[in-house]
Amino acid sequence: MARYVQDFAEGNKDQKDLLGGKGANLAEMTRLGLPVPPGFTITTEACRHFMATGEVPPELRVEVTMALRRMEDALDRRLGDYREPLLVSVRSGAKFSMPGMMDTVLNIGLNDASVQGLVEWSGDERFALDSYRRLIQMFAKTVFEIDGDLFAEQLDALKERQGYTSDTEMDAKDLRELVEAFKEIVRTETGRDFPQHPREQLDLAIEAVLGSWNSTRARIYRRRERIPDNLGTAVNVCSMVFGNLSADSGTGVCFTRDPATGHTGVYGDYLTNAQGEDVVAGIRNTLSLADLEKLDPASYLELRQAMRTLETHYRDLCDIEFTIERGKLWLLQTRVGKRTAAAAFRIADQLVDEHLITLDEALARVSGEQLSQLMFPQFARDAARTLLTQGMAASPGAAVGQAVLDPARAEEMAAQGIDVILVRRETNPDDLGGMVAAVGILTARGGKTSHAAVVARGMGRTCVVGADALDVDYGARVVRVGARTVTEGDVIAIDGASGEVFLGSVPVEPSPVALYLEEGLDVALERAGADDEGADLVRAVDRILTHADSVRRLRVHANADSADDARRARRLGAQGIGLCRTEHQFLGARRGYVEQVVLAEDDATREAALDALLPLQREDFTSLLRAMDGLETTIRLLDPPLHEFLPDLTELSVRVALAAQARKLAGGGEVPEDEARDVRLLAAVRHMHEANPMLGLRGVRLGLVVPGLFALQVRAIGEATAALRAEGLDPRPAIMVPLVGSVMELVLIRDEAREVLAGVSEETGVPLDLPIGVMIELPRAALTADRIAEAADFFSFGTNDLTQTTWGFSRDDVEGAFFPHYLSNGVLTISPFETLDAHGIGRLVRIAVEEGRSTKPDLPIGVCGEHGGDPESIRFFDAAGLDYVSCSPFRVPVARLEAGRAAVETTTADSR
């Protein structure tokens, strides 16, 4: 029989699947002998039962009773007792950190009777009543789903009547009035009194926290972070310790290193006479840990020692929540802290130097997505700018957009393609949709551990918090800073590295990491100059990326259609070209030649158009192969849907009709040659018109139906190769045939190509034994890979079309038509065009690899769809045994890093 409850003293940090991250880490801290209040964890299995049935397991209440009694006996206090009451907190805690996305209730056990016992125990009526009003407010919002603004309005009204500017100015009389007002809100909104029985409070709070796993904000966060919906959350019931008990009490959150920059030191936020939610909510601007050292040196030193213990134990940046109760330190939570991209690389590099982790571990702790963020531009250092105000740097980056004060409005504007910066007094979990939509987040309140800061760092969003000069007026939709007013819709810019906020737009320049990747380490360090921050970040990235290159098995190629693209890809570390899309070379003026080839009514017309195209194609390939000298260059033969090279049917029909009408109005007469040509062209276009061009006459089919088209391209490749080899260069082209579904299609094109290459070789005296391979982008090709391999020198997966043809999706249509609905209701967790569908498309890939190599064991296999630059997909391709991935030039460094991470993960798994 499943056991649903474990005491903190029973678990450890490796039980996150069962106890959630918070519960597992509370157990680990207890095991380490750190000061953790007694408590117990309700496991994720209970949540999964609750999700499946809508009810808690029948055994759960019994197990909770047993654990609660053990806690009561250990503390010699009883839950909700009217003399010296035990109070508890009820907190969520999933396997993966979801800051602020699920619910918490503090001070469970207080009622009209036990609040008097709390007065007697504490000797402070104000503290007891403050704790009671907090319970009613949190419980009502979490359990009864009452609008939290109703309580905030009562609180603000009381403060306004009394002329208070801070919550701490309220005395016991004020708080007693507030308690009664809060209880009346509960009665009005629910039709019942606030629960007075402590056990009823506990049971209702547990169910509410279990249910918060499926709250809207939690589901949005999970979709963004790719967290499975079926994991469930644990629930942690912990004896309360009080940071709001007295002047020598307080609460805070600290980091063992700066989560924004990665620099070593003491970082955190502290509030005196407050409870933990006050810090995270950002409703009061916080003190620093340096201030804590002056206020309470003993607790500060004990906290510093605990920080060192935890960072050494976890060998990583730790995020720690703590409370001080009358000078006694208690640790309420720890976890490996979320961090910015820059911090991730710096911390990994530092921990290697400190001999806490290996280079392999450092590589595993950074990601391609983080590297991508570091490649984005930053504000130009010498650009003119108008400073509006200064806040606290919470998540780096340069963000420019229209100021928007409402999260829903931010989502609407972002959906229209408008960059927005979400401006709030402080954020809360209900703002998540707007935070995801915004390019940057600015708050008037809060510190580096506030909700806005933590969530922004996790998402890679630029964020500035604690800009307390901002007066955010939601009603008027303006932000005032002294005499200046920013109206919603005005453009502002925020610098997440400095905390500066500017009026208007500010120009950007390449980041130090982008310079390093494009120009090399020496150039980047020289440009950084006295900027130690930029220089040490570049060195950290170089160290880890160099290690990734040394351990990865997958080669990284680039998708490039021109010599300029190829040169950039090579600078960024590409080891070859995995896809040159030759149809891109036929746009503009050349399109007419292809049109002539396709629509030619006789051989002479067709040959003339092909002859005109040949030198142009030869020059294309010469410049491309020269840029990639010595490296593999895979050139795909033409693969456009036919309609891309034909006149638009509707436009042509209208033109012919208007010309006929004009001639008729003019009295008829002989048909002009231009009109006659359009009439013939219209007939041809109608004949070739396709209802579904993406599945029509394209790829290999076009090469088989239109005489000479593929032969022209093969000849141009051959002649370019021969000329470059004659110069002493080492071009390495490979010819790829697209959209093959049958081995005979490939055989026919391969034989034609070999014949053409043999002719060029004879003419030039240069051997041209070029590999001829196939693009696997149809399910039938994957399922008959053993036969296709007989005629192919290599495979390359075209995963974009393979996804379209397997799912039956038209990419251009579905992403706007119904993907948002599919993503919101859980049919998809991410677009299969962004990350490979490992269960469906991935299975076809594995089949093709296995069957292709059953025919040719050494068959080279790669992928050239955009999935080749997606981190999760790269790990799949490494596991599937591909030889290389190919992606856009900008994604090449990302792919290099992720290929290294995949190799490290494989090595680690093999050693277990």
Q: Which residues are catalytic, by number?
A: 451, 864
Token code pair at residue 263? 């620099």
Tell me the C-alpha distance between 795 and 619, whole Å.
Answer: 27
Token code pair at residue 100? 């602020």
- In degrees rounded to 5, what are phi and psi of residue 565? -60, -40
Q: Decide: 40 and 71 in contact? Cβ < 8 Å.
A: yes
Token code pair at residue 63? 């197990």
Report the b/e string of 805-832 with b at 16+ CB within 10 A.
Answer: bbbebebeebeeeebeeeeeeeebbebb
The arrangement of strands across the sheet holding 318-325 comes to 264-272, 250-257, 318-325, 328-336
Residue type, 420: V
Q: Decide: 887 and 866 in contact? Cβ < 8 Å.
A: yes
Classify the C-alpha dihedral 595-599-601-602 as positive or negative.
positive
DSSP-derived 3-state class of residue 888: coil
User: Which among 14, 19, 89, 84 is positioned nearest to 47, based on CA atoms?
Assistant: 19
Task: Specify the residue for token string 């709390």.
Answer: 118
CA distances from 459 to 98, 164, 340, 514, 788 (A): 11, 37, 9, 20, 44
Q: Decide: 149 and 141 in contact? Cβ < 8 Å.
A: no
Tell me the C-alpha distance between 645 and 589, whole Å.
Answer: 11
Token code pair at residue 424? 């709030």
Report the b/e string of 879-909 with b at 16+ CB within 10 A.
Answer: ebebbbbbbbbbbbbbbbbbbbbbbbbeeee
Q: Decide: 571 and 558 in contact? Cβ < 8 Å.
A: no
User: Which among 581, 848, 834, 886 is positioned nearest to 741, based on CA atoms?
Assistant: 848
- In degrees rounded to 5, what are phi and psi of residue 90? -125, 115
Q: What Rg value do the Cα atoms of the chain yield, rounded? A: 33
DSSP 356: S
Residues 6+ apart with CB under 8 A from 97: 21, 335, 338, 458
DSSP-derived 3-state class of residue 606: helix
Tell me the C-alpha distance between 404 and 682, whole Å.
Answer: 51
